[in-house]
């Protein structure tokens, strides 16, 4: 009888252990299902974000293409406007010179006429007026003027006492300023002291220094 009780108790103990094991398995399965569902939600969220990023990328690409097209169009407009300005500028200048040119062309037919010189002078005055209308100024230095490096170009140095040193001795060609800016400097010859005067000055200075030394002794 005691042996049967022990067997029954053992069987009851085994049944209790199996029940607890099944309960743990169920809990683990439920936990795994929850994890799988959470991962699936995260995957779906990532997919949605990827699609959103793709859409935004396409929008940016379209915006970039439109901006590039506008910029190219703007460049073409600027180049066209620049060409128009250059053409109109040249046209205006040519038109200003057409009248004196036509007068000169007619005058050349009568170059043996006594009045030819007067005709040329009139044409010269017309050209001067054209330059004035273009705001062109003449740089006309005179002998004895101080050399100006901003408006004059030295083509030669000449030894002379006629004018002060570094002043203009002669003018080879006049210069020009357009609206106050020098576009071609006047070409000038600048005066410098003659070498013999410099040598005499050096000799006299040396003799004075020698006399001073002798006096000190």
Condensed to tens digits (0 to 9), the pLDDT of residues 5-45 reads: 454 445 545 545 455 555 666 666 667 777 778 888 888 88
Q: How far, in whole angstroms, is CA 183 from its chain's centroid?
A: 21
Q: How far, in whole angstroms, is CA 170 from its chain's centroid?
A: 40
Condensed to tens digits (0 to 9), the pLDDT of residues 45-63 reads: 888 888 888 888 888 888 8
Condensed to tens digits (0 to 9), the pLDDT of residues 107-133 reads: 888 888 888 899 999 999 999 999 998
* Distance of alpha carbon 175 from alpha carbon 201, whole angstroms: 36
Q: What are phi and psi of 112, to 5 degrees?
A: -90, -5
Question: Which residue reads 């793709």 in tokens?
Answer: 54
Q: How many CB atoms lie within 10 A of CB 191?
A: 23
Question: Which residue reads 């170059």 in tokens?
Answer: 111
């Amino acid at each position: 009888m005691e042996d049967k009780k022990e067997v029954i108790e053992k069987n009851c103990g085994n049944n209790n252990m199996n029940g607890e094991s099944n309960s743990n398995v169920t809990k683990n399965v439920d936990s795994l299902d929850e994890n799988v569902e959470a991962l699936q939600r995260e995957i779906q969220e990532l997919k949605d974000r990827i699609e959103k990023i793709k859409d935004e990328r396409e929008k940016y690409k379209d915006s970039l293409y439109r901006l590039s097209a506008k910029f190219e169009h703007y460049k073409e407009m600027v180049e066209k406007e620049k060409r128009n300005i250059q053409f109109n500028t040249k046209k205006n200048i040519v038109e200003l010179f057409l009248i004196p040119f036509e007068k000169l062309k007619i005058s050349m037919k009568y170059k043996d006429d006594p009045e030819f010189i007067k005709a040329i002078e009139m044409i010269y005055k017309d050209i001067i007026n054209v330059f004035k209308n273009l705001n062109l100024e003449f740089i006309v230095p005179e002998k004895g003027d101080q050399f100006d490096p901003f408006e004059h170009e030295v083509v030669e140095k000449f030894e002379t006492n006629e004018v002060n040193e570094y002043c203009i001795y002669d003018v080879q060609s006049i210069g020009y300023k357009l609206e106050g800016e020098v576009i071609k400097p006047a070409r000038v010859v600048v005066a410098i002291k003659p070498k013999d005067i410099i040598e005499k000055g050096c000799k006299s200075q040396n003799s004075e220094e020698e006399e001073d030394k002798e006096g000190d002794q």
